[in-house]
Structure 1
């Protein structure tokens, strides 16, 4: 984008650019989202930044009105396959639970020094500063929106004590947490607003999920979706929780209620929820690339998002059970698996509602799956995958190809829905082949790095 594009988007308060850039006002020292309802400042008083971290490190403090911490994370360069993008993915997936710079560099296969250099070049801040900015921005979101006490907010944001939290928060925002917090402390559920860049094709997301719904785990309403989840901690144990999200197109977002056993993992869980709905998608950028690949503009489904699975393992199990059977049959098999192996809990508040949790790799690996009416070879594949995932909790999906019974389609499906990989082209899929017979001029290579969205658009035509 150039200055003219920034200016036009700012003055029109165009929600499509929410999260793509931020505007800072030199006279007030405050930075805002481009959708801020405040009277737009004069252009000569405005400075533009691609990330909130750049604005913070330049000495600006976040606006209390439009709350930049609520913007979707969709910078203009986010589609580029870069080391920084991978680093950010690891940071946001891991949260603030002890990931060291050296460990992050090792995962990326580079040195600490080179990692710092890349962050400075592309984000304008060091990795350490970026992480701390995310901590403070998330804390600000919790202070504004939840009834959590300040000490729990500090804990949820990765601080071991309140004093360090207070010092860091005031240094970056110029205000204390107490000055920001307005809601009284109570046991009310944790509620967060999660924004996106419009349009969001809720009907497509809803219909795709409806035919694949997991009984006892997922709930789906006309404008809402909820589910239970397991979260694997750094100690190898699981914590449990559930969430419910209500779509608010008038607010360009979702109102999300979260119940979680340990608030320490609230940040990575909230990021996973964003991934489930694909809230960080830069729709304008994606659509232009898909059309550039030859997909007919009039057939384009505006606002399609990738309906995410909670984990690659869950997506992999679903894909294996779906081999050579209909979606309905695969979902029935999945529900049978959950009924026999998933943990469950019946509420005691009078409605006797039973919640189920998706089986862990260990639970499936220990079973002979005799209750599933599928070929023995497929049962063996399920157990093989579960055993591998239990031994390699941080293993990459691409390594599944080494396992007997798992082919490229299963791996790519799990990468697309479980890892939120935006560049998966399922050219071996029967539905994609049928769609290509209708539109043979489509060149998927030109849709990079957004071929997952091309895949879903092709499916939507069938």
Structure 2
């Protein structure tokens, strides 16, 4: 949590760089706000500060209808300090407690439910189930504000299985019925269009160039101001297009889904792919202190791929070849094995091939050594047997997969913040160009943000 003086400065200045890092709760109104709230700032004596929306809600405050705390960027200040908590939050955001019990979640985490409850109580002051329900309500609030979807559809899209349960939970956590909130807030967009915010700055031109250079036609589309792609998530398929809106510090995202019940985890993953929750101001301050003299690009983000499996396949295709060569092979793979979405996102599109599809193919259409084709098939077969696994520890047991492949896949497939690609040719060339006399670079001191250091070097 930031100190009180910093929070006071940020809210009075309405500094968007602090958006999502803390929330301002006003005792006289019982409402909590983002630092960028357009309302008249309250007197400091009437203000409390909280590190998360969940903590503000637990203290009895309701979210503001003007600044909409549900739309704030995430605040991952805790990230890396407790990997078990980090993994638990990721699984909950993917809907783990919507479709399974707390005991089943604990089994996936390899810990007891008492330990998990203690982690959440220490970090947020609430139980895991309470945290999950509040996140569902915040997402529902965002849909009520930003779409014209019926309330029943919003309940389903937010992970609730009955309208009655949704109404009761929403009223408990938000202090209003969903229908009342919609009448007061109005709607600002039609269909499945959402505004996803970030904390500025955001180096969109760098992100755009990186993604454009690796774009797979039919799977992805990109222009000067937008990026879109198809995806598969659990049992459903869809696509999104994200249009950069620098004036509002965010992206206008249009979304198409076969099944709205997975909308919340899909939107969470879009945020990860575009790295919208990174605090680049803090990351770059750390890198500048750890490695004095290193030229830094302001607002640099990690360009994600949709899932770890896709990142692994693209990493194997990129072994010991140029970016352009890897892109060509990826294009052929998608053209031959990807499923067709005939009417999605305004044109003929394809999804990335599934593990069982790649494992069942001889991949003879790929122009590469036979050993690499077999590595692709072994990897796909392993993933077919372990579809929900994010554990890359076993990958190197598969012949043809080494440390670079695993690390590259983790950097782009999970957006892990602390990956250092020491053996990468681009990193080596950047270090050589910097020169030892100009800068002494010890990547260890850049932890826990070595992924961003890697990306800084790639863009030198």
Counterpart of 1:192 in structure 2 is 194
1:346 maps to which residue?
342
Kindly state the Cα deviation for residue 294 of structure 1 after the two structures are TM-superposed. 0.9
- How big is each residue's C-alpha offset from its partner over 1:306-365, in whole Å with a ceiling of 9 and x where there is no partner? 10000111111111111122111111111111111111133399x8x3111110011111
Q: Closer, same or farther in 2 for the Cα pair 1:81/1:442, shift >3 Å? A: farther
**Structure-1 residue corresponding to 2:216:** 214
Instruction: Could you list the structure 1 runs, at least 4 aligned residues long, displaced by more than 4 angstroms after superposition.
Output: 182-185
Aligned 8 A contact 1:95 1:268 in 2: no
Residue pair 1:228, 1:356 contacting (<8 A) in 2 also: yes
Aligned length: 453
Distance 1:439 1:447, change over 3 A: farther
* Counterpart residue number, 2:277: 280
CA contact (8 A) 2:275 2:302 kept: yes
Q: Secondary structure at the match of 1:258?
A: strand
Aligned partners of 1:21 and 1:49 also within 8 Å: yes
Aligned 8 A contact 2:305 2:413 in 1: yes
Cα distance, 1:91 vs. partner? 1.3
Query: Is 1:175 the counterpart of 2:176 in the alignment?
Result: yes
Distance in 2, Cα, partners of 1:52 & 1:73 = 10
CA contact (8 A) 1:21 1:75 kept: no
Counterpart Cα distance in 1 of 2:312 and 2:33: 41
SS in 2 for 1:274: helix
Query: Match for residue 241 of structure 1?
Result: 238
- Listed one character per residue, the Cα deviations across residues 210-263 of structure 1 (whole Å, up to 9, x for unaligned) are 11001101110110111111112xxxxx31101111000100100001000000
Deviates more, 1:44-53 or 1:435-444: 435-444
How far apart are 1:105 and its partner, in Å? 2.3
Question: 1:235 aligns to what?
Answer: none
Task: Tell me by how many angstroms 1:75 deviates.
Answer: 4.2
**Structure 2 stretches of 5 or more lacking a match?**
none
* Distance (Å, rounded) in 1 between the aligned partners of 2:291 and 2:82: 22
Gaps of 5+ in 1: 233-237
Q: Superposed, which structure 2 residues align to 1:159-170 within 5 Å?
A: 159-170=160-171
Shift of residue 287, structure 1, vs aligned partner:
0.7
1:184 deviates by 9.0
Corresponding residue for residue 233 of structure 2? 231
* Aligned mate of 2:361, from 362, 367, 382: 367
Determine if contact 1:19/1:75 at 8 Å carries over to the other structure.
no
Deviation at 1:270, TM superposition (A): 0.3
| Contact 2:98–2:160 (8 Å) recurs in 1 | no
Contact preservation (8 Å) 2:93, 2:132: no
**Aligned counterparts of 2:77 and 2:46: Cα–Cα separation in 1:** 23
- Residues 26 and 42, structure 2, Cα contact 8 Å, conserved in 1: yes
Measure, in 1, the Cα distance between the counterparts of 2:225 and 2:426.
28
Specify the alignment match of 1:59 in structure 2: 60
Counterpart contact for 1:293–1:445, Cα < 8 Å: no
Provide the C-alpha distance between the structure 2 equivalents of 1:106 and 1:243, rounded to a whole number of angstroms.
33
Written as runs of structure 1 = structure 2, the 5 A alignment for 1:329-408 is 329-347=325-343, 353-395=347-389, 396-408=391-403
Matched, 1:318 2:310: no
Name the CA shift for 1:82/1:343 in 2 (closer, same or farther; >3 Å). Answer: closer
Deviations 1:432-457 (A, max 9, x none): 22223325411111111110000000
Does the CA-based 8 Å contact 1:51-1:75 persist in structure 2?
no
What is the CA deviation profile of residues 140-193 of structure 1, one whole-angstrom value per residue up to 9, with x for unaligned ones? 0011111211111111112111111111111111111001125999x9531111
Matched, 1:12 2:13: yes
What's the counterpart of residue 99 of structure 1? Answer: 100
Give the equivalent residue in structure 2 for 1:455.
Answer: 454
Distance (whole Å) between structure 1 residues aligned to residue 384 and residue 453 of structure 2: 33
User: What SS class does the counterpart of residue 254 from structure 2 fall into?
Assistant: strand
- Residues 310 and 75 of structure 1: is their aligned pair in 2 closer, same or farther, counting only changes over 3 Å? closer
- Checking the alignment, whether the CA contact within 8 Å between 1:31 and 1:60 is kept in structure 2 is yes
Structure 1 residues 75 and 342: alpha-carbon distance in aligned structure 2, compared to 1, 3 A threshold: closer
Q: Which residue of 1 aligns with 2:288?
A: 291
| Higher alpha-carbon deviation: 248-257 or 123-132 | 123-132
Change in CA separation of 1:97 and 1:348 when aligned onto 2, cut-off 3 Å: closer
Distance 2:165 2:32 in 1: 24
> Residues of 1 paired with 2:82 and 2:186: CA distance?
43
The residue correspondences of 1:433-444 to structure 2 (distance < 5 A) are 433-437=428-432, 438-440=434-436, 441-444=440-443
Q: Tell whether the 8 Å contact from 2:221 to 2:229 is kept in structure 1 after alignment.
A: yes
Aligned to 2:155: 154
- Give the structure 1 partner of residue 302 of structure 2: 306
